[in-house]
């Protein structure tokens, strides 16, 4: 059911500056994409079978803006690749996990994504991600 760690999301104040820092480490940004539905701009770094997602808010009311206001820059969410996101959401709902998204939404790279509330997952914002590889 779980395929792999799809990506780790990192909240950053300024994407261009963050890209310089991460590329200085030797990583390579594959693409930069805006995801208006999530009010974010994303820089994707491939690391083996997983990714690092650098996230900048595109509006004041972006979840990333609120997160940085409260906690500063840092790890924001953990995304796990799943075979069938609808099935997983149904299972977690039945088990009483607090779903932020009852239905999947479209995320970076056209993946189907849905979030589970951090209060239900030991303080971790969990993203389920179904991606056509
Ligand atoms: C591009 C796409 C993709 O992969 O394709 C993405 O990733 S988009 C990535 C951006 N989109 C998202 O994050 C969408 C899902 N996120 C949300 O719906 C929101 O950010 C929530 C997670 C519901 C939090 O929003 P809310 O307005 O409730 O903020 P809040 O500060 O009042 O947070 C409520 C409680 O959750 C905690 N909290 C908030 N954000 C957290 C996070 N990222 N990790 C762990 N805990 C977190 C706060 O500390 C607070 O706990 P205390 O009360 O104990 O202080
Ligand atoms: Co993500």
Q: Tell me: the pLDDT tens digits for 9-44?
A: 999 999 999 999 999 999 999 999 999 999 999 999
Please state the ipTM of this predicted complex. 0.98
Residue 57 in contact with ligand 1 by CB distance below 6 A: no
For ligand 2, an ion, list residues with CB under 5 A: 9, 79, 127
Q: How far is the CA of 56 from the centre of ligand 2 (A)?
A: 12
C-alpha 90/C-alpha 97 separation (Å) is: 10
Could you give the domains of the chain?
2-130 (3.10.180.10)
Q: How far is the CA of 81 from the centre of ligand 1 (A)?
A: 19
Residue 43 in contact with ligand 1 by CB distance below 6 A: no
Q: Report the b/e string of 59-89 with b at 16+ CB within 10 A.
A: eeebbbbebbeeeebeebbebbbbeebeebb
Which of 125, 129, 131, 132 best tests ligand 1's pocket when mutated (most atoms within 8 Å of CB)? 125
pTM over 0.80: yes
């Amino acid at each position: 059911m779980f395929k792999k760690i799809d990506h780790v999301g990192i909240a950053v104040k300024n994407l261009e500056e963050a890209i310089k820092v991460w590329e200085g480490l030797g990583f390579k940004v594959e693409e930069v994409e805006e995801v208006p539905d999530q009010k974010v701009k994303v820089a994707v770094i491939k690391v083996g079978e997983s990714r690092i997602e650098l996230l900048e808010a595109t509006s004041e009311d972006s979840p990333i803006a609120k997160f940085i206001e409260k906690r500063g820059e840092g790890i924001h969410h953990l995304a796990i690749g799943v075979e069938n996101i609808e099935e997983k959401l149904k299972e977690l709902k039945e088990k009483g996990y607090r779903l932020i998204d009852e239905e999947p939404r479209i995320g970076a790279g056209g993946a189907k994504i849905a979030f589970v509330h951090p209060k239900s997952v030991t303080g971790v914002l969990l993203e389920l991600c179904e991606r056509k590889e």
